[in-house]
Amino acid sequence: MELIWAGTSPFARKVMIVAHELDIADTIQTTDGTGTPIAPNSSTVSYNPLGKLPCLIPDDGPAIFDSRIICQYLIARAGDTKLLPEGPSRWETLTLESLGDGICDAGILIRYETVLRPEALRWPEWLDGQWSKIDRALDTVESLWTAHLAGPFDLGHASLGSALGYLDFRYGDREWRSTRPKLAAWYDEKFMTRASAIATVPVG
Over residues 54-74, the pLDDT tens digits come to 999 999 999 999 999 999 999
E strands, the chain, in order: 2-5, 29-32, 55-57
Residues 74, 92: one domain? no
Q: Does a structural domain hold residue 167?
A: yes
Where residue 14 sits, what CATH number does that domain have?
3.40.30.10
Q: Which pTM does this prediction carry?
A: 0.96
Q: For residue 29, what are the β-bridge partners?
A: 2
What is the pLDDT confidence band of residue 35, given thresholds at 50, 70 and 90?
very high
DSSP states of 9-68 = -HHHHHHHHHHHHTT-GGG-EEEE---BTTB--HHHHHH-TT--S-EEE-TTSS-B-SHH
Q: For residue 55, what are the β-bridge partners?
A: 4
Find the length of the chain: 204
What is the pLDDT confidence band of residue 203, given thresholds at 50, 70 and 90?
confident
Residue that is last in its domain, among 78, 105, 135: 78
CA 23 to chain centre: 19
Domain total in the chain: 2
Residues 94, 68: one domain? no
Q: Which of helix, strand or coil describes residue 2?
A: strand
Residues 94, 48: one domain? no
